[in-house]
Amino acid sequence: MSGRLVEVTTPDGVADAYLARPDGDGRHPGVLLIHDAFGLRPQIERMAQRIAAEGFAVLVPNLYYRAGRAPVVSMDGVDDPERRGALMERIRPVMQSLTPDRIAADADAYLDRLAQEGDGPFAITGYCMGGRLGWLIAAAHPDRVAALGAFHTGRMVTEDADSPHLLAGRIAAEVYFGHADNDQGMTPDNVAAIDHALEAAGVRHRSEIYEGAGHGYTMADTPVYDEAASERHFSELFALLERTVAA
Protein backbone atom coordinates (compact mmCIF):
# COMPACT_ATOMS: atom_id res chain seq x y z
CA MET A 1 0.00 0.00 0.00
CA SER A 2 1.29 3.46 -0.87
CA GLY A 3 0.16 6.96 -0.02
CA ARG A 4 1.13 10.31 -1.45
CA LEU A 5 0.00 13.89 -1.77
CA VAL A 6 -1.65 14.86 -5.06
CA GLU A 7 -3.28 17.97 -6.46
CA VAL A 8 -6.79 18.21 -7.88
CA THR A 9 -7.79 21.12 -10.10
CA THR A 10 -11.24 22.45 -9.16
CA PRO A 11 -13.37 25.30 -10.53
CA ASP A 12 -11.92 27.56 -7.82
CA GLY A 13 -8.29 26.54 -7.81
CA VAL A 14 -6.17 23.57 -6.82
CA ALA A 15 -7.01 21.32 -3.89
CA ASP A 16 -4.27 19.40 -2.16
CA ALA A 17 -5.33 15.83 -1.41
CA TYR A 18 -4.03 12.55 -0.04
CA LEU A 19 -4.22 9.45 -2.23
CA ALA A 20 -3.77 5.97 -0.76
CA ARG A 21 -3.93 2.86 -2.94
CA PRO A 22 -2.59 -0.67 -3.19
CA ASP A 23 0.86 -1.03 -4.69
CA GLY A 24 1.17 -1.77 -8.40
CA ASP A 25 -0.25 -0.35 -11.58
CA GLY A 26 -3.71 -1.93 -11.52
CA ARG A 27 -6.99 -0.08 -11.23
CA HIS A 28 -8.99 -0.31 -8.02
CA PRO A 29 -12.49 0.60 -6.83
CA GLY A 30 -12.52 4.22 -5.73
CA VAL A 31 -13.48 5.64 -2.34
CA LEU A 32 -13.83 9.35 -1.63
CA LEU A 33 -13.10 10.00 2.05
CA ILE A 34 -14.61 13.22 3.37
CA HIS A 35 -12.84 14.43 6.50
CA ASP A 36 -14.34 15.80 9.69
CA ALA A 37 -14.27 19.40 10.88
CA PHE A 38 -10.60 19.21 11.90
CA GLY A 39 -9.54 18.68 8.31
CA LEU A 40 -6.97 16.62 6.44
CA ARG A 41 -4.23 15.49 8.84
CA PRO A 42 -2.21 12.38 9.80
CA GLN A 43 -5.16 10.66 11.51
CA ILE A 44 -7.25 10.95 8.35
CA GLU A 45 -4.34 9.70 6.25
CA ARG A 46 -4.03 6.64 8.49
CA MET A 47 -7.72 5.89 8.03
CA ALA A 48 -7.32 6.19 4.26
CA GLN A 49 -4.37 3.81 4.38
CA ARG A 50 -6.39 1.20 6.25
CA ILE A 51 -9.18 1.35 3.66
CA ALA A 52 -6.66 1.20 0.82
CA ALA A 53 -5.09 -1.91 2.34
CA GLU A 54 -8.38 -3.70 1.63
CA GLY A 55 -7.94 -3.11 -2.11
CA PHE A 56 -9.36 0.36 -2.71
CA ALA A 57 -8.03 3.62 -4.09
CA VAL A 58 -8.86 6.28 -1.50
CA LEU A 59 -8.82 10.01 -2.23
CA VAL A 60 -9.02 12.48 0.67
CA PRO A 61 -9.29 16.07 -0.56
CA ASN A 62 -8.49 19.01 1.67
CA LEU A 63 -11.98 20.48 1.61
CA TYR A 64 -10.57 23.70 3.09
CA TYR A 65 -8.14 24.28 0.21
CA ARG A 66 -9.52 27.76 -0.45
CA ALA A 67 -8.09 28.75 2.95
CA GLY A 68 -4.71 27.10 2.35
CA ARG A 69 -2.96 23.76 2.22
CA ALA A 70 -3.55 21.18 4.94
CA PRO A 71 -3.42 21.34 7.85
CA VAL A 72 -5.58 24.45 7.71
CA VAL A 73 -6.80 24.39 11.32
CA SER A 74 -4.61 23.80 14.36
CA MET A 75 -6.02 21.20 16.77
CA ASP A 76 -4.29 22.88 19.69
CA GLY A 77 -6.64 22.61 22.64
CA VAL A 78 -8.61 19.59 21.44
CA ASP A 79 -7.75 17.71 24.65
CA ASP A 80 -8.72 20.59 26.94
CA PRO A 81 -12.48 21.02 27.58
CA GLU A 82 -11.93 24.65 28.57
CA ARG A 83 -10.27 25.45 25.23
CA ARG A 84 -12.45 23.36 22.95
CA GLY A 85 -14.97 26.18 22.49
CA ALA A 86 -12.25 28.50 21.19
CA LEU A 87 -11.04 25.75 18.87
CA MET A 88 -14.48 25.35 17.35
CA GLU A 89 -14.74 29.11 16.92
CA ARG A 90 -11.57 29.00 14.81
CA ILE A 91 -12.96 26.18 12.70
CA ARG A 92 -16.51 27.44 12.22
CA PRO A 93 -15.81 30.10 9.52
CA VAL A 94 -13.92 27.58 7.40
CA MET A 95 -16.70 25.03 7.80
CA GLN A 96 -19.33 27.59 6.85
CA SER A 97 -17.45 28.41 3.65
CA LEU A 98 -18.32 24.93 2.34
CA THR A 99 -21.63 25.81 0.72
CA PRO A 100 -23.66 23.11 -1.05
CA ASP A 101 -22.87 24.71 -4.41
CA ARG A 102 -19.13 24.68 -3.72
CA ILE A 103 -19.22 21.07 -2.54
CA ALA A 104 -21.18 19.91 -5.58
CA ALA A 105 -18.82 21.72 -7.97
CA ASP A 106 -15.67 20.46 -6.25
CA ALA A 107 -17.03 16.92 -6.20
CA ASP A 108 -16.86 16.70 -9.98
CA ALA A 109 -13.11 17.25 -9.79
CA TYR A 110 -12.65 14.80 -6.92
CA LEU A 111 -14.62 12.06 -8.66
CA ASP A 112 -12.75 12.72 -11.91
CA ARG A 113 -9.48 12.19 -10.04
CA LEU A 114 -10.78 8.90 -8.63
CA ALA A 115 -11.67 7.86 -12.16
CA GLN A 116 -7.94 7.83 -12.90
CA GLU A 117 -7.59 5.01 -10.37
CA GLY A 118 -10.58 2.85 -11.27
CA ASP A 119 -13.96 2.65 -12.90
CA GLY A 120 -17.01 4.10 -11.20
CA PRO A 121 -19.45 4.38 -9.68
CA PHE A 122 -17.61 5.15 -6.46
CA ALA A 123 -18.17 5.02 -2.73
CA ILE A 124 -18.05 7.84 -0.20
CA THR A 125 -17.23 7.55 3.48
CA GLY A 126 -17.69 10.67 5.59
CA TYR A 127 -17.10 11.61 9.22
CA CYS A 128 -18.84 14.24 11.34
CA MET A 129 -19.60 17.05 8.86
CA GLY A 130 -18.07 14.82 6.17
CA GLY A 131 -21.06 12.50 6.32
CA ARG A 132 -23.40 15.38 5.59
CA LEU A 133 -21.19 16.68 2.79
CA GLY A 134 -20.89 13.16 1.38
CA TRP A 135 -24.69 13.04 1.33
CA LEU A 136 -24.79 16.28 -0.66
CA ILE A 137 -22.28 14.85 -3.14
CA ALA A 138 -24.27 11.64 -3.50
CA ALA A 139 -27.43 13.65 -4.12
CA ALA A 140 -25.71 15.88 -6.70
CA HIS A 141 -24.06 12.95 -8.51
CA PRO A 142 -26.36 9.93 -8.20
CA ASP A 143 -24.92 8.35 -11.34
CA ARG A 144 -21.39 8.40 -9.90
CA VAL A 145 -21.93 7.37 -6.27
CA ALA A 146 -22.98 3.80 -5.43
CA ALA A 147 -22.43 3.82 -1.67
CA LEU A 148 -22.34 6.27 1.23
CA GLY A 149 -21.11 5.46 4.72
CA ALA A 150 -21.72 8.28 7.20
CA PHE A 151 -20.35 8.07 10.73
CA HIS A 152 -21.14 10.26 13.76
CA THR A 153 -22.76 12.69 11.34
CA GLY A 154 -24.93 15.57 12.56
CA ARG A 155 -27.27 18.21 11.19
CA MET A 156 -28.88 15.88 8.68
CA VAL A 157 -32.30 17.10 9.78
CA THR A 158 -32.94 20.79 10.41
CA GLU A 159 -35.85 23.21 10.33
CA ASP A 160 -34.41 24.89 7.22
CA ALA A 161 -36.02 24.67 3.80
CA ASP A 162 -32.81 23.09 2.49
CA SER A 163 -32.45 20.49 5.24
CA PRO A 164 -30.26 17.66 3.92
CA HIS A 165 -32.82 14.94 4.63
CA LEU A 166 -35.12 16.48 2.02
CA LEU A 167 -32.67 15.33 -0.67
CA ALA A 168 -33.32 11.64 0.00
CA GLY A 169 -35.22 11.32 -3.26
CA ARG A 170 -32.05 12.18 -5.19
CA ILE A 171 -29.95 9.47 -3.57
CA ALA A 172 -29.22 6.40 -5.69
CA ALA A 173 -26.47 5.03 -3.42
CA GLU A 174 -26.83 2.42 -0.72
CA VAL A 175 -26.54 4.32 2.57
CA TYR A 176 -25.23 3.27 5.97
CA PHE A 177 -25.42 5.54 9.02
CA GLY A 178 -23.37 4.76 12.13
CA HIS A 179 -24.79 7.28 14.57
CA ALA A 180 -23.06 8.38 17.76
CA ASP A 181 -24.98 7.82 20.97
CA ASN A 182 -26.67 10.84 22.57
CA ASP A 183 -25.51 13.10 19.74
CA GLN A 184 -27.01 16.57 20.10
CA GLY A 185 -26.58 17.07 16.36
CA MET A 186 -28.51 13.89 15.54
CA THR A 187 -31.27 13.30 18.09
CA PRO A 188 -33.51 10.20 18.10
CA ASP A 189 -36.17 12.27 16.32
CA ASN A 190 -33.60 13.30 13.70
CA VAL A 191 -32.58 9.68 13.18
CA ALA A 192 -36.22 8.69 12.75
CA ALA A 193 -36.75 11.52 10.26
CA ILE A 194 -33.79 10.58 8.04
CA ASP A 195 -34.80 6.92 8.15
CA HIS A 196 -38.35 7.82 7.16
CA ALA A 197 -37.10 9.99 4.29
CA LEU A 198 -34.92 7.17 2.97
CA GLU A 199 -37.69 4.62 3.29
CA ALA A 200 -40.15 6.90 1.49
CA ALA A 201 -37.62 7.40 -1.32
CA GLY A 202 -37.00 3.66 -1.64
CA VAL A 203 -33.28 4.01 -0.83
CA ARG A 204 -31.53 0.88 0.40
CA HIS A 205 -30.15 1.81 3.79
CA ARG A 206 -29.33 0.84 7.35
CA SER A 207 -29.11 3.12 10.35
CA GLU A 208 -27.54 2.08 13.67
CA ILE A 209 -26.82 3.74 17.00
CA TYR A 210 -23.37 2.97 18.39
CA GLU A 211 -24.34 2.74 22.04
CA GLY A 212 -21.96 4.49 24.40
CA ALA A 213 -19.90 5.99 21.56
CA GLY A 214 -19.69 9.76 21.49
CA HIS A 215 -19.64 12.14 18.56
CA GLY A 216 -16.25 11.71 16.86
CA TYR A 217 -15.74 8.13 17.99
CA THR A 218 -13.59 7.17 14.98
CA MET A 219 -10.94 9.85 15.51
CA ALA A 220 -7.95 8.47 17.43
CA ASP A 221 -6.38 11.93 17.77
CA THR A 222 -9.27 13.27 19.87
CA PRO A 223 -10.40 12.50 23.42
CA VAL A 224 -13.75 11.06 22.24
CA TYR A 225 -12.10 8.19 20.36
CA ASP A 226 -13.73 4.83 21.06
CA GLU A 227 -11.64 1.92 19.78
CA ALA A 228 -14.46 -0.64 19.82
CA ALA A 229 -16.84 1.69 17.99
CA SER A 230 -14.15 2.62 15.49
CA GLU A 231 -13.45 -1.04 14.73
CA ARG A 232 -17.17 -1.63 14.29
CA HIS A 233 -17.28 1.27 11.85
CA PHE A 234 -14.49 -0.25 9.76
CA SER A 235 -16.30 -3.60 9.66
CA GLU A 236 -19.53 -1.99 8.51
CA LEU A 237 -17.73 0.21 5.99
CA PHE A 238 -15.84 -2.70 4.44
CA ALA A 239 -19.05 -4.73 4.19
CA LEU A 240 -20.74 -1.80 2.44
CA LEU A 241 -17.84 -1.43 0.01
CA GLU A 242 -17.84 -5.14 -0.77
CA ARG A 243 -21.56 -5.05 -1.56
CA THR A 244 -21.43 -2.01 -3.77
CA VAL A 245 -18.14 -1.14 -5.45
CA ALA A 246 -15.66 -3.97 -4.97
CA ALA A 247 -14.93 -5.89 -8.15
Backbone angles phi, psi at 32, to 5 degrees: -100, 115
Bridge partners of 16, per DSSP, are: 7
Q: What is the pLDDT of residue 76?
A: 87
Average pLDDT over residues 129-148: 97
Mean pLDDT of 138-150: 97
What's the pLDDT at 172?
98
Catalytic residue among 152, 205, 215, 233, which? 215
Please report the domains of the chain, with CATH numbers, ordered by start residue. Answer: 2-244 (3.40.50.1820)
Does pLDDT of 55 surpass 70? yes
* pLDDT tens profile 168-191: 999 999 999 999 999 999 999 999
Residues forming beta bridges with residue 174, ordered by sequence position: 147
Annotated catalytic, 215? yes
Phi, psi of 31 (to 5 degrees): -130, 125
73 touches 64 (CB < 8 A): yes
Give catalytic status of residue 80 as yes or no: no
Active site residue: 35, 183, 205, 233, which one? 183
Cross-sheet strand order for the sheet of 145-151: 2-10, 13-21, 57-61, 30-34, 122-127, 145-151, 174-180, 205-210
Q: What is the pLDDT of residue 81?
A: 86
| Helix (H/G/I), strand (E/B), else coil: 30 | strand
Query: pTM of the entire structure?
Result: 0.97
Convert the pLDDT of each residue in 56-113 to its tens digit.
Answer: 999 999 999 999 999 998 888 898 888 888 888 889 999 999 998 899 889 999 999 9
Q: Is 208 helix (H, G, I), strand (E, B) or coil?
A: strand
Q: Mean pLDDT across the chain, nearest whole number?
A: 96
> Which listed residue (28, 106, 128, 152) is catalytic?
128
Residue 186: per-residue pLDDT: 97
Residue-wise pLDDT tens digits, 70-84:
999 888 889 888 888
Per the annotation, the verdict on 23 as an active-site residue is no
Alpha-carbon torsion 224, 225, 229, 230, what sign?
A: positive
The pLDDT, as a whole number, for residue 247 is: 65
